[in-house]
Structure 1
Amino acid sequence: MDRLLALESVLNTIADPDDPALSRFIRAQPAAGLAGQLTEIVRAWRTEASGTAGSGLALALATSRALPRPASPQVVVSGPASASLPGRLTSGVAVEVVRSAKTSLLVASFAAHGALDVVDEIGRAVVRGVQVDLLLEESTHASVAFAMLPKEVRVWHRASASGVMHAKLLAADRHTALLGSANLTDRALSDNIELGVVLRDLATVAPLVDHFRWLLSPESGLVRAGGAA
């Protein structure tokens, strides 16, 4: 950040990319590779926007710096945790993701058994008006784990016997998604050695949710309604 502010300061004092002050600033950069990157930026300025004053580029940098940054991915684990990878436990994060849903919740799992904390939280989501869709593998009888949920919950299965529904996903609205190896079972959420990641970046999560919504749509022809949970 300090280097970016320093670059903005220099740009505010120069009129064009050939100003010696900019060359001196670039040569003084100690970070490996930074001088080369800045040289490429200057080259692009010279060839593509030579009529733009340095103050214009400084304003563009300041604007970009002020934009909100997407949250970093968060690692989650099941089983033993270590100091090398201090991730949060999958069971707690799964409940947290469900709790964050305001309008829709998309759940995909190959197998499901127990996981009462997650199932109970899904039930509370339904009560507060969240539309819940469960995309489950039929051959594992995963839907049984959700049998006590309200009838408003929609269950989906693959329409074809070719292949299985093997994805594991919890997606709250279009803003948060938990992806990983863990099924919605007690062992997978707590005891097995499993690994996952939570995404909280709209630009990444929204297309992922759109893909699964397309899978559930009649036009895909890939899934069929399995009835209420």
Structure 2
Amino acid sequence: MTPELAHVIARLAEELPAGHIEAWARVLHGYRAPGDDLEVRLIEAGSGDAVGARAARLAQAWRESSPQPAGEALALALETGAVMHARHAEKQTDVVVSGPLGDRPAVRHTGAVVTEIIRGSRSVLLVVSFAAFGVSEVVRELRDAAGRGVRIDLVLESPRQEGGTLRGTGAATAFAALRDSATFWTWPSRHRPAVGASHAALHAKLVAADDRVAFLGSANLTDRALGDNIELGVVVRDPAAVRRMVGHFRGLMRPGHGPLEPVPH
């Protein structure tokens, strides 16, 4: 295995969610050498943000490797890399980015991190975003979480016609499929300070699971923010810090006291 191929596999082990790693390993087991249909098979096995570029990156590095390892060896390397990354990540605060990478790419990808946090939730999820659209994979993960009994709170900015600051539709529209399985929260205009001729905005971005792990950063829950925009954030695995973040919003959501209110079904 050439250094370039090893580098690509290590990067993919960091970037891809666990489900993608497993699916890609199954695909790779079926190849002795990189076939012409490899990228298509990988994309079909694990769709999502930037998956096509990652599939092409792996296929190209494998084709250019000399000697070429068998698909089983690549699958094992990918799975081993994922296990080692997961063990390391359990104790680390990670830098998370979207968009182009610089020459020191020791970072995680925003879309993969958000998916990972939602998929790993077991009891409670708090999702806060200013804008939201075009994130079908995130919606699927949230529906799966609701299906396994996770309580989901969505704190989202409203459109201008409802007292918020978003033009067009509000962020809640992107999560319409969750109307019966999540609690939606809004910041009514009567509770917002006036800022000139407008009101203050609900501008925070947070995904927190089980008071255990949280993503905090600049990225909204939009396809561009999770994949293409230049965005920056961190994954926090300090339960005490996560509890303070979540506790701040729980205080804002306190019935009769906080400015946030649940949206009636």
TM-score between both structures, scaled by the size of structure 2: 0.58
- 1:108 is displaced (CA, Å) by 0.3
Instruction: Look up the match of 1:133.
Output: 153
CA distance in structure 2 between the partners assigned to 1:220 and 1:150 by the alignment: 24
| Counterpart residue type for residue 190 of structure 1 | G
CA distance in 2, matches of 1:227, 1:75: 37
Cα separation, 2, equivalents of 1:220 and 1:90: 34
Deviation at 1:150, TM superposition (A): 5.0
Counterpart residue number, 1:61: none
Q: Deviations over 1:49-78 (max 9, x none)?
A: xxxxxxxxxxxxxxxxxxxxx822101100
Residue 143 (structure 1) shift: 0.3
Q: Of residues 189, 195, 202 in structure 1, which corresponds to 2:226?
A: 189
Runs of 4+ in 1 over 6 A off after TM superposition: none
Alignment match of 1:118 (pick from 124, 134, 138): 138
In the alignment, what sits opposite 1:92? 112
Deviations 1:115-171 (A, max 9, x none): 111111011000000000000001231000000125020000113243111000000
**Residues 92/219 of structure 1: CA separation in 2 closer, same or farther (3 Å cut):** same
Amino acid at match of 1:147: A
| Pairing 1:226–2:263 present | yes
Amino acid at match of 1:155: F
Q: For 1:1-229, list aligned pairs within 5 A.
A: 71-139=91-159, 140=166, 141-149=170-178, 151-159=180-188, 160-162=191-193, 163-228=200-265
Amino acid at match of 1:152: S
Distance 2:253 2:154 in 1: 10
| Structure 1: runs of 5 or more not aligned | 1-69
TM-score normalised by the chain length of structure 1: 0.66
2-side partners of 1:99 and 1:150: how far apart?
A: 19
Larger CA Rg, structure 1 vs 2: 1
How much has 1:114 moved relative to structure 2?
A: 1.1
**RMSD, aligned α-carbons:** 1.4
Q: Percent identity?
A: 47
Amino acid in structure 1 at the alignment position of 2:158: E
Shift of the alpha carbon at 1:227?
Answer: 3.0
